[in-house]
Structure 1
């Protein structure tokens, strides 16, 4: 039996990574966000902020990485695998930044089907900026809107995760994960 692929998404600074770590602590298989890894690899090649300097290349690398994660999840044994952001997040961000993209982005999103999507809404009390997260909280709110609209446009009904402790939010996700 193939594992259910469950996306945890949301704008920057909404607590996705904390929930992924909590799920791992509880014994679930998780795939981590890769955007920081893409940024660090570009920095090794002398590009300080790939996202700002070459947004289309950054997005292509993200799409490739998230597509590889989808394939990894497809081949995974077990019942559920949680993924920190899906392929659709790439298009949502590109739309937010008004970056033009071509057909491979669209077909990847059409062909990569997740069983469930959980959306973490913006939450100002936990939002923090850092070297890779430079958006203001207002921008994070707009990005969250784009994420929601993108997943809905591709036929998903994102489940909104309420605020609370990491443990409470993780419990909410687990209690609302449907068995296939």
Structure 2
């Protein structure tokens, strides 16, 4: 799906802030599956949390990413995803030591260009949903930086600039400077 664009990369690198800016500009956006899972598991007292059961968390993220992608079919125009199925599948492979499910990722493609936020220590901060440290965030980033090209995606690193400048860069790279309207997911 050429209109489904993933913004991935280093945890704490500004992905969610960028997605909020794209939504403010009228583009459809999809919130990160992991954050939604953590919030739900914390409310329910569950254990499918990355710091308790990474494999269980990643399995949930794979399922939710597939559901998000299916739900986005109804959206018109560009749809921007805060992470996606590849991120979840990479986390599952890391957690279990099993090979990445490349067939699953191939069956649910996104735009061939994926945007990655590089490690940015100046803005990295932990919170209730992000309990890992910066070195763990870098390790995850490096796995994704290898995984996306291995699956045939072209990686574009987002510059360390203001959120507005990042949004302009991303939209300019895609040639998507005009939003279709106020549709949001």
TM over 0.5: yes
The answer to whether the 8 Å contact 2:8/2:116 transfers is: yes
Structure 2 residue ranges without an equivalent (≥5): 177-185
CA distance in 1, matches of 2:29, 2:48: 27
Indicate the residue corresponding to 2:92 in structure 1: 94
CA distance in 2, matches of 1:102, 1:45: 31
CA distance in 2, matches of 1:63, 1:13: 21
Secondary structure of the structure 2 residue equivalent to 1:50: coil
Indicate the residue corresponding to 1:113 in structure 2: 109
Q: TM-score, normalised by structure 1?
A: 0.88
CA distance in 2, matches of 1:3, 1:158: 14
Q: Does 1:40 align with 2:47?
A: no
Structure 1 segment 63-102 matched on structure 2, within 5 A: 63-77=62-76, 79-95=77-93, 97-101=94-98
Q: Does 1:13 align with 2:12?
A: yes
Q: Does 1:151 align with 2:131?
A: no
Q: Relative to 1, partners in 2 of residues 1:147 and 1:3: Cα closer, same or farther, differing over 3 Å?
A: closer
> What CA RMSD, in Å, does the superposition of the two structures yield over aligned residues?
2.1
Secondary structure of the structure 1 residue equivalent to 2:136: helix
Secondary structure of the structure 1 residue equivalent to 2:8: strand
Indicate the larger mover: 156-165 or 39-48: 39-48
Indicate the residue corresponding to 2:163 in structure 1: 166
CA distance in 2, matches of 1:29, 1:3: 14
Q: Relative to 1, partners in 2 of residues 1:98 and 1:36: Cα closer, same or farther, differing over 3 Å?
A: closer
Secondary structure of the structure 1 residue equivalent to 2:114: strand
Indicate the larger mover: 125-134 or 105-114: 105-114
Q: Relative to 1, partners in 2 of residues 1:138 and 1:20: Cα closer, same or farther, differing over 3 Å?
A: same
The CA deviation string for residues 45-96 of structure 1, in whole angstroms up to 9 with x for no partner, is 322562232222211110011111111223322x21111001010133334x
Q: Relative to 1, partners in 2 of residues 1:102 and 1:148: Cα closer, same or farther, differing over 3 Å?
A: closer
CA distance in 2, matches of 1:53, 1:125: 27
How far the C-alpha of 1:16 sits from its partner, in A, is: 0.3
CA distance in 2, matches of 1:102, 1:46: 30
Aligned length: 175
Q: TM-score, normalised by structure 2?
A: 0.85
The answer to whether the 8 Å contact 1:3/1:73 transfers is: no
